[in-house]
Structure 1
Amino acid sequence: MSSFKITNETLADGICACPAVYEDAESITGLLVRTAEWLRDRGSNQWSGLLEGQDTHDIAGSIENGHVFVFKKDEELAAVVMLLPEPSEGDRTLWGDDGHEASIYLHRLAVSRRFAGQGLGARILHWAETGVDYPGKTRIRLDCVADNDALHSFYRRMGYDFRGADASGYHLFEKEMSAE
């Protein structure tokens, strides 16, 4: 189980953050698949493995390990994010050997289309920086497909620094967390 403390349970507009539980797995997977379909319909192959039944991030295991957070309005799933306090094998491949001890790895940030366009993705990124505390962690790292310029711009606007491109087609971003 992860060692973390949620310091802010409410984002805004009645949306609450909490660790996912086993009963959330089906709705989380559904949201991720719908997001992958939405991306595909816009010409992106990001998360295309989900459409073929591939679960490279082991959602059920990640829930059990306390790495998945859900954002709900009343009981409706509005969004999800995965925060890994230790790098996955894929993270180690992308990032190399340095900086892991101080890093949180952000994956699978997805917002339900019903809640899209309301700034929820930005609020979740901010929450990951300030609303949950992982002792000893001072930065957030993430990766995304190289051909999604809109997503790259979003991360830059949110204060993430571009840290390079990987030969396999991923861009790496990192942000130092401020002490608040």
Structure 2
Amino acid sequence: MIIVRAQPADLPRLLRFRKDAASWLQPQGIDQWSQPFPASNIAASIEAGEVFLFKEDQALDAVATVTLDRTIDPELLDLWTPEEQAERALYVHKLVVDRQHAGRDLGGRILDWAGDLAARQGERWLRLDAWTTNTRLHRYYLDHGFHHVRTTQDPNEVSGWLAQRLARRTPHSFGDLTGVSPVGANKPERKIGP
């Protein structure tokens, strides 16, 4: 399986990932991603080079996606302490695996790739926030080495379950065609994008 950066033409596929995930979650009583997400936000992440697609072959449709950046969601900024905000971290957003490829721990391998990338770029942490009421998702992340940091008590914050794990070099077996390279010894890189 290979990893490529998403391009503007991939926006419809990225929106479909989100819609399909919401449709799968709804019968389980989980309202995650049930509200439409502005396509312009995803397009901006694509433009910044932060959206990655996982494919079985370059010519085939993506089977999974993840967005990685070094930015705390502005709505969650006050949930991370000033000390935590000062630490170098890569943040995982919008990790989705197509249901036809579920059950093979592809999501876990993607997290390993993200943690490896974070380590190669000099980050200390791989962090994420998850839907506050999706306890099954919390368990998934805990089972993949994340540690729960805290959960907001604000009933209006739907994605306030925070977790992190140390960034570490980890084998992942993906063919990485993203062009994201490790940090040079004398030139720390802070951007994921071009």
TM range (shorter): 0.7 to 0.9
What is the match of residue 130 of structure 1? 116
Change (3 A) 1:91 1:171: same
Which of the pair has more CA radius of gyration?
2
CA-CA distance at 1:160 after TM superposition: 0.3
Letter in 1 for 2:136: A
Q: More strand by proportion, 1 or 2? A: 1
Q: 2:162 aligns with which of 145, 166, 172?
A: 172
What is the match of residue 97 of structure 1? 82
Letter in 2 for 1:86: T
Do 1:49 and 1:55's aligned partners in 2 also have CA atoms closer than 8 Å?
Answer: no
**Number of aligned positions between the proteins:** 163
Change (3 A) 1:38 1:71: same
Change (3 A) 1:161 1:139: same
CA-CA distance at 1:102 after TM superposition: 0.4
User: What secondary structure sits across from 1:17 in the alignment?
Assistant: strand
Deviations along 1:102-131, one digit per CA (max 9) or x if unpaired, are: 011111100001111111111111111114
Q: 2:42 aligns with which of 52, 59, 84?
A: 59
Scaled by the length of structure 2, the TM-score of the pair is 0.76
- Structure 1 unaligned blocks of 5 or more: 1-14
> CA RMSD for the aligned pairs?
2.0
Where in structure 2 are the equivalents of 1:1-180 lying within 5 Å? 15-50=1-36, 54-55=37-38, 58-74=41-57, 75-100=60-85, 101-131=87-117, 135-168=121-154, 169=158, 170-179=160-169
**Distance in 2 between the 1:173 and 1:80 partners?**
19
Do 1:80 and 1:110's aligned partners in 2 also have CA atoms closer than 8 Å?
Answer: yes
Letter in 1 for 2:56: K
User: What secondary structure sits across from 2:82 in the alignment?
Assistant: coil
Deviations along 1:2-48, one digit per CA (max 9) or x if unpaired, are: xxxxxxxxxxxxx2112111111111111111111111121101112
Scaled by the length of structure 1, the TM-score of the pair is 0.82
Do 1:85 and 1:134's aligned partners in 2 also have CA atoms closer than 8 Å?
Answer: no
**Distance in 2 between the 1:176 and 1:149 partners?**
22
Segments of 4+ moved more than 3 angstroms: 131-134
CA-CA distance at 1:96 after TM superposition: 3.9
User: What secondary structure sits across from 2:141 in the alignment?
Assistant: helix
Letter in 2 for 1:16: I
Letter in 1 for 2:67: M
**Distance in 2 between the 1:114 and 1:16 partners?**
17
Percent identity of paired positions between Structure 1 and Structure 2: 31
- Structure 2 unaligned blocks of 5 or more: 171-194
